[in-house]
Structure formats: C-alpha cells, structure tokens
Amino acid sequence: MADGETAVAEAGRDFIRDIVHADLDAGRHSSAVTRFPPEPNGYLHIGHAKSICLNFGIAGEFGGRCHLRFDDTNPTREEQEFIDAIERDVRWLGFDWGKHLYYASDYFERLYEWAEHLIRTGHAYVDDQSQEAMRIARGTLTEPGKNSPFRDRPVEENLDLFRRMRAGEFPNGARVLRAKIDMSSGNINLRDPVLYRILHAHHPRTGTKWSIYPSYDYAHGQSDAIEGITHSICTLEFEDHRPLYEWFLEHLPVPSKPRQYEFARLNLTYTVLSKRVLTTLVRDGHVKAWDDPRMPTIAGLRRRGVPPSAIRDFVKRIGVAKANSVVDANVLDFSIREVLNKTAQRRMAVLRPLKVVIENYPEGQSEELEAVNHPDDPAAGTRKVPFGRELFIEQEDFMENPPKKFFRLSPGAEVRLRYAYFITCREAVKNATGEVVELRCTYDPATKGGNAPDGRKVKATIHWVSAAHAKTAEVRLYNPLFARPDPTAGENFTDDINPQSLEVLNSVKIEPALAADPSAEPVQFERLGYFAPDPDSTPAHPVFNRTVGLRDTYAKVAASEAKGR
RNA sequence: UGGGGCGUAGCCAAGUGGUAAGGCAGCGGAUUUUGAUUCCGCCAUCCCCUGGUUCGAAUCCAGGCGCCCCAGCCA
C-alpha cells in the first residue's frame, strides 16, 4: 500500500499558497520554510491534520522544509506521552520533518537574553500587580486600560527583579515581565502583554532549570525567527496577535523576519474538535482512550482503520480559506470509501446470522467455490470459499412479508448467494415467540458459480458464510460520538453525546480466509462496509472495527417507502 | 465609531471588472454475481442587503445588516 510512503505535493490552490507563490516569484525567499507547532498537552486530531497537510504540503510543493516544533512553554500541562504520540501521528500521516525536530524550550536561554534586551531598551518591565489587579487595569473591550504603577520602574530595578525571578526567589504569580506597549490600544493583546510568568514546575525537557516560562506570544514568533521560518501559518484566533508578533520582531535583534498568516480551523458536523472536550471525554471515561475509534483524533481514526491517504484526500477536498465553516462529515466518509474501495480486498462476513438449511444439498458434503478478492483488480487474485448444507445469511436479507421494492429473500423468492448458487426460500421456521430462526431453502445445482444456464435472472445477490466452516468474531460498529450535527463544545457538551456511538456484535460469522489472514489491512465485508482488525484481536478472538459502511441506497428506498405508506 | 476578521447553492470552495469552476450531499438514468463501485445527466439568471460608478460589477465606491474572534500569569 502506498500509505507508508511520504506524502508529497498534493497541491491545491488557496490564498496561502498564492502568497507563498508570490513571495518566491518576487524573490523574497528562495523556498518556503514552515512549521507545525503543537503544544504537547493532548493528542492530535483531524483539525490538526488540516494544519499538518497545509504546512508540510507547502514546504514540499515549494522546495522548502517543514519543522516539527513543540510549543512547550507551559510545563503545568504538557507531558512526554503527548510528545511521543504527536510524533507518531505526524509520521503516520505521511510526513517527515527530517532532522528538523525542535522545541520552544530549546530557545529558552536566547528568549531570556532577548527579554533582558527589551528591558534594557525600555520596552519591558517587571510588574508586581496581582493577577486580579492586572485584569482590572487591563480595561474592557470598549474601555482603555490603565498603566501599571510599576510601569516606569528604572531599567536596573527591572533587570534585578527579572534576574531574581529567574533565580526562583519569588513564588508563583508574584510578578511577571510585561512588554511596555500601549494600555489604551483597541487591540487588547497590545495592552502590555505578559512575556514571562513565574512557574515553579517540572518541565518535561528542561526539568527544574527554569522557574520562569515565556508566554506563547513572546516565544512563538522568536522561535520562528530563530528557525528561519518564512511563513508562519496559524488559525484565525491568532489574527489579532499578529501586531504583537510583529512588534517583537521589530524590537529584537532577530535573525529573520517570518510573516504570520491565518486560516480558518476545521469544524466537522457531529464532531467536537476542542482539546478541552477531547481531554474530558478521555478523562471521564466517555470513551476508552485517546485512540478510541469514535474519537476524531488521528490515533482514533487510525485504530478505526482509516488510511492516512484518506485523511490527506479529505484535507485536499475541503480547501483552505478564512471563512469560519463546518464541513459535512460525509466528506470524510467519502474520502475514506474512495481510498478503501480501491485498496481493500473483499471478504464475506455475516453480522447478524440467520441459519439457512439447503434441503436438497447432501448432508455431510461440502465444496470450495472461487471468489475474487477485488472486483476491479485482477491482480488481487482469488480465494476459495467453502460451501455446505448449512449456511448463515444476514437477518436483514430475509423478510417474511417483504415490501414492494425488497429484492432479497422471502418465502418463494429466489436469490443468488454470491459466488455460489441460486437458492429459493421454501419455508421460514419460527420459534415459540414467532421469531424466524431458520430458513429451509433449496438450491439449483446448475447455477454453480452464480449463473443460470437457462439465462434466468435474480434481482439480488446476498452474502453468506458456511456454518460448518465459519469462525466467530467480534465486530464493533461505530456511530457518531455526538447525536447532533452541531454539538456544543461548552460545559454541558456531555448532553449531546450519542448513547448509541458504539454497538458490539459478538456472534459475527466470518469466512475462514478472514480468520486465517494475519494481515492488519482493512477489508471490505461485501455489502456491509470496510472493516479493520482492532489491536484487541487475538487468533482465538478476532475483533474488527467498522471503519465506514458502504453507501446504502436501499436504506433510502426503504425509508421513503415506509414514509409513503 | 473598542480592535480584528468573515459573508458565493443544503455543506465546503474557486473566481479579484467581461457576463458564476470543482467537490460533498441530493435527484434522475445506464451498467453491475456487492441495492457497492463505475458511467451519464440535473442541481446559483445569481454571488448578505441597498444605493452608486461603468457599455458591462460577485468583483470598484458608499451606506447598512449578519456571523465569528479578543478583556489567561492557556496556546
């Protein structure tokens, strides 16, 4: 499969690529250098995939490089587990940062020196105000803020205090270093933003070396400048941080001048892409783990069986723009089917078994029939499928009193068993409660392989599995994690959780070839959908995840029929 | 008159003065040993609104309206 390969140049046109193109044409840069800057405080999700494909994609298309840089400026919420998971997920998506793996913490010393530079040039000061006092003095959206009483401290005093902050002389929250910009700015980010705060915390990379940590605003742009990033791409909410981003670059002796551009983050129907919510879902056990197949995380999608190329295809389809939008989850499903239809081999499995006895098939006899592995790819070859007197078919492929447009089995009806024979239903056997528990059928020996010599047609072909040869498996069916297309990401998001997001089937009957195949490749269960083995699988107990179902136009027909009655 | 951004079909999204790309969804039809796939066809007289400029405007100008983001020592 091509998924293991590094993804290259999956171009598209968008305003950011247009900018990069123009910059190269104008000779402002000789190549595009971008970065993907996750904070290691959670797992990557499909929204991050959009950013990853954008950043790595542009670097690949414009002969540059993309750095993986961990934005690890807040040790109170960052963990090594997340660093490892992020690397694994970016790599799995098909991207390679080569030797360009960086951490904002790599630059702590330099950032510190630059902070002293700002103090010396009168552009930063140590503020002793309480957090509460600072909040009040910041003003509101419509009223200007007030200058801090510490704003005009002498340079030497600022330097002394700042050094002592670094030395760990003060408790958390006692003081901060602030940029001296404009407390009356309409842009609140410019009202003397905090550059450093005191945090006596253990950092995954620097341990206890530091007791002060730089803020995102102070660290990000300078990290970009140090790495020679040409185009620093982020999401819309950072748009009004851009003036601050540029302010630092103007007031510091940075080695390069990156430019920041913003695009709209991804939103998906029936999905919440908020790290806070995803973290809570895991922490409170609404899902099993970060890689639960119901999660929109890269790890969850991977476990569900989604190929990385499908995620890349999805990202290409949705485009990049500045308008807030919500993408229909159908687009993702479409991309998944698009890839899997071409790559997944076909097998037969019966999710909800209904026993069928072929009355005119000799008892104790069995035979092997040939089935193709992929209808559009002869190179995929064929396999043998055992057939016998007792079979299992799908419960929903039989109806005792079928509506007009139901073409499958019903008393007296004839259908084709895929790759096998035509069978006709003679009788439905019921139990004491009236449930159909077994079908008595006859087969036409002349239709072996699925074609009638007399040319007669059947209106349906159904899948089946030989009872004597079938293995039993567990199948996990997934439905959207949220019941509403527009679930809230607010405090009460649990109200919108779909109670039917997981359905476990324990007596799924699978053909022998499926149980024997040790590969972890996704397969198509014919007429049902795409399924991938779960890591919980053992040879004695196979477990499959439904990645995505097949398009089901009959479901629509049935629904409209039902409505019409 | 706090600042910043956005508004093209049900959902994404091209288009940047010359008379509305493409995709998803939907709807018809053909093919089909998966009611799958594939293949054909349909789907915005109109681009948030109102004026204006122009031979000509989704694109330019003016004025409105709507939605999103910002008041963390989070990112």
- Which class is A108-216 in CATH? alpha beta
CA at A13, C1' at B17: how many angstroms apart? 22
**pLDDT surpasses 80 at A5:** no
Give which of A211, A261, A272 is closest to A239, Cα–Cα.
A261
Residues of A labelled catalytic: 39, 265, 275
H or E segment and range at residue A318: helix A308-318
The pLDDT value recorded for residue A518 is: 63
Output the distance from A399 CA to B26 C1' rounded to whole Å: 29
What is residue A559's predicted lDDT score, i.e. its pLDDT? 83
Phi, psi of A475 (to 5 degrees): -125, 135
How far apart, in whole angstroms, are the C-alpha atoms of residue A192 and residue A247? 12
Q: C1' nearest to CA of A189: which nucleotide?
A: B70
pLDDT at A13: 86
Quick one: which residue's CA is nearest to B34's C1'? A527
Cβ of residue A318 lies below 7 Å from strand B: yes
Residue that the structure tokens 């009236």 belong to: A434
pLDDT tens-digit readout, A458-514: 999 999 999 999 999 999 999 999 999 999 999 899 999 999 999 999 999 999 989
How far CA A87 is from CA of A70, A94, A310, in Å, comes to 10, 11, 19
- Domain boundaries for CATH 3.90.800.10 within chain A: 108-216
DSSP-derived letter for residue A415 is E
One DSSP character per residue, A140-196 reads -SSS-----TTTT--HHHHHHHHHHHHTT-S-TTS-EEEE-S-TT-SSGGGSS-EEE
**Is residue A93's pLDDT more than 70?**
yes
Task: Decide if A65 contacts A98 (C-beta within 8 A).
Answer: yes
pLDDT of A195 > 60? The answer is: yes
User: CATH 3.40.50.620 residue ranges in chain A?
Assistant: 3-103+217-334
pLDDT band at A12 (very low <50, low <70, confident <90, very high): low
Q: Specify the DSSP class assigned to residue A503.
A: E
A86-96 per-residue burial string, b: 16 or more CB within 10 A, e: under 16: bbebbebbbbe
CB proximity list for A290: less than 8 A, separation 6 or greater: A42, A43, A85, A278, A282, A297, A299, A300
Task: Quickly give A245 CA vs B70 C1' distance in Å.
Answer: 15
Specify which residue's alpha carbon is closest to the C1' of nucleotide B70.
A188
Residues of chain A with CATH 2.40.240.10: 348-468
Predicted confidence at residue A69, as pLDDT, reads: 98
For residue A73, say whether its CB is under 7 Å from any atom of strand B.
yes
Is the CB of A92 less than 7 A from some atom of nucleic acid strand B?
A: no
Looking at strand B, which nucleotides approach a protein CB closer than 7 A? 2-8, 10-16, 22-27, 33-38, 67-75
DSSP state of A266: P
Q: Does A408 contact strand B, using a CB cutoff of 7 Å?
A: yes
**pTM for this predicted structure:** 0.96
CATH homologous superfamily of A3-103+217-334 equals: HUPs (3.40.50.620)
pLDDT, average across residues A448-465:
96
Does the CB of A456 sit below 7 A from strand B? Answer: no
Q: Does the pLDDT of residue A517 top 80, yes or no? A: no
Host H or E run for residue A213: strand A212-214
pLDDT-derived band at A561, boundaries 50, 70, 90: confident
- The mean pLDDT value for A2-30 works out to 73
pLDDT higher than 70, residue A132: yes
Task: Give nearest nucleotide to A558 (CA–C1').
Answer: B35
Residue A61 CA to B13 C1' — how many Å?
Answer: 21
Amino acid A4: pLDDT: 31
The answer to whether the CB of A272 falls within 8 A of the CB of A493 is: yes
pLDDT score of A306 more than 90: yes
Please give the average per-residue pLDDT across A46-58, as a whole number.
98
Query: Residue A264: its pLDDT value, please?
Result: 98
With both helix axes pointing from N to C terminus, report the angle between A46-61 and A15-25 in degrees, rounded to the nearest 10: 20
> What is the ipTM, given to two decimal places?
0.97
Instruction: Note the pLDDT of residue A520.
Output: 73
Please compute the mean of the pLDDT values over residues A516-531 and round it to a whole number. 89
CA of A12: nearest nucleotide by C1' is: B14
- CATH number belonging to the domain at A348-468, selected among 2.40.240.10, 3.90.1280.10, 1.10.357.10, 1.10.10.10: 2.40.240.10
Which nucleotide is at minimal CA–C1' distance from A234?
B75
**A405 CA – B35 C1', rounded, Å:** 10
Q: Would you state the pLDDT for residue A564?
A: 62
Distance A14 CA to B22 C1' (A): 13
pLDDT, position A7 = 33
Sequence-distant (6+) residues with CB within 8 A of A492 are: none
- Tens digit of each residue's pLDDT (9 = 90 or more) over A163-173: 999 999 999 99
Strands, E assignment, A360-459: 366-372, 382-388, 390-394, 414-417, 422-430, 436-443
**A270 contact to strand B (CB, 7 A limit):** no
